Chain A
Amino acid sequence: MEIIQLQNIKKHYGEKVVFQDVNLNISAGFFTVLRGESGAGKSTLLNLIGGLEMPTSGQIIVDGKDVGNLTAKDRTNFYRHEIGIIFQGSYLQPQFTLLENITLPGVFAGMPEAERKTRAEQLAQMLGISDNLKYLPKEVSGGQAERACIARALLLSPKIILADEPTSNLDEDNAKTVLEILNYVRQQMGVTIIIASHSRDVLEFATQVVTVRGGIVTSELSNTAAMQDNQKATNDVQRTI
């Protein structure tokens, strides 16, 4: 089942054409990798899917909703329940502890304090950062901060995670761990993962590879093992941890 559909998408910045007539489908439970050189438009494509930028023309359907025509209230609900975004460079609020950062979506969504704390602790346990929750972002390693970002994105149990270069600032070992965690989240929670990355390591986990080059977007399914894994994940969706 397709959870994301991009139909005849055009994106211009003034005279500059970024995308010309892009059509793309992403199925639920996929681990989709957006590949391409720097400046090719990977982040823009991610922002379009996430509704952070609007296409010049065309339609983006995410879980049956036209992202371009959401009302303000629907857009807020879209970010609360449909999408979790992990920004490039583990963007955490520097004045808040990891726990406070992770629970931030719950604050906006009006989740009771005790509930969001329990949920954050469960996620931290799963992601291996439960001992670091009381620290500020500057007091933990890049890998731990990245995991906190993943936990924050997962707090409200979204159906889709968008991650922009989540491993760009990490060493090889930490990068691999973060990718394994995202794949684990996909398998255990049935979350669709879309990663923009130019790293080759990420391909190991991909079920779909989308290549962005010169304003043209091409898509191909990836290795069989990952696809079988994907089938298992979509059949066995666990919405709770």
Chain B
Amino acid sequence: MSLLRVEGLTVALPPGGDRPHAVEDVSFHVDAGEILCVVGESGSGKSISANAVMGLLPKGLPVRSGAISFEGRDLLSLGAEAMRRLRGQRLAMIFQEPMTALNPLMRVGDQIAEVLRVHGSGADAARRVPELLAAVNLPDPAAITRSHPFRLSGGQRQRVMIAMALALEPALLIADEPTTALDVTTQMQILRLIREIQSRRGMGVLFITHDFGVVAEIADRVAVMQRGRIVEQGPAAEVLNRPQHPYTRALIAAVPHGAAEARAAIATASVLELRGVEKTYRRGGFFGARAVVRAVHDADFVLRRGETLGLVGESGSGKSTLARCVVKLVEPEQGTIAYHGTDLRPLSRAAWKPYRRRIQMVFQDPYASLNPRRTVGDTIAEGPVTHGEPRGKALERARELLRLVQLDPGAMDRYPHEFSGGQRQRIGIARALAMEPELLIADEPVSALDVSVQAQVLALLAEIRARLELTMLFITHDLRVAAQICDRVAVMQRGAIVEQGPTSEVFAAPQHPYTRQLLDSIPGRGWTPPEL
């Protein structure tokens, strides 16, 4: 008998949505001692399925039909109080956002003790809580017990969440994208932790993710969801290496393969050269202790014509700050930013203006990088108009650019909210290209996109770069993406570049320990996506 069995589950969406059901006729099961990964893109209904099992669906999403049985009991017919007693005790769940998943006003120890207390085992909380924190490999459990969540990092908070979920040794753990918000090295640690605890305790795990690398890392079996339906399920090795359904095949084909091919060295003239650039943030006002953060230091690099340099690092490594220094969105205190030999750093706003035509930027968040109150056409034409081009001509050019980024020119008069994330990112690229720049800075241009869209945008960038002979500074946290698009990479850690070189060399023979750690942390590095 399976631990969890979901049969023909259908959950309705509120009227007016893009489809009638959030999930439709979904069936899967989880056995004790196995990890089932439910994988799909955003909006595929994977989280809804998980929440339905926990009995935590929002009021607007009622279960229409189907059955969920857990340890032989029908969960859907269980009363609210009986369901509550199961939650935290036999069924536990961890979430995507560790930063907001803990009560900010309650000490960590009290939050863990609360699970024990509400299920009637509060008596040994004082002994159990430090044990649990130690079990998830947190240092100094006694101190962490007394801490408030804001003192802990994202990875530490996710460990606390796991400790809390495991407090009463549940039979089933539901993990809803538990590593998506974490850095790659932390992600690997958490994945290993879940795997280790799961095999030690023989728990069943329902693991929700969008990342096939994570699937390859952790799954025993896989269920692929698309638009509310499971389109394919089977053993992990089977689905990953011999996908049957066209959607699964498309998804896997879109996964960056992570292997860097050797490229010819580029020995053209230098376009951009950074030397001794330093940016330090001081926090705290008139009253209050000041904290000093060295956001960028020791980060020299040279970018040659036609070359793509990847700045790779985890969050807080200073890669975005460094890129923003180049376009004066951030003003460093020291160093030279030489563009064709001219130091841009000391230039005034007005003196900088001519260089705006030469250096452009593509941003990360397609939902925040377009002015919601301006039409697409105006957005793209705006740059040239600012630099004195007649409006009619700029709009004509915007129309051409839309074609170049593979959008319908009819998009000109529409507003950003009418477009999907991938389409918006194309508009953002068109806006940058409208200035006919020589140097394009791309700040995590694909990290907010679903994997299939990500592949399309990357392909577009590669094509445009070749066609327009662009020089590119490409910022990313995803090593697989860097491997695919960059000629050279520079690895950043805590504000400094610790290693740089041709991509294939850095990937094949990393010199710095941090680079090695990063490469080891790529989820699913043992899996090479099949050629499809």
Do A and B actually bind? Answer: no
Chain B positions near chain A (C-beta within 8 angstroms): none
Chain A positions near chain B (C-beta within 8 angstroms): none
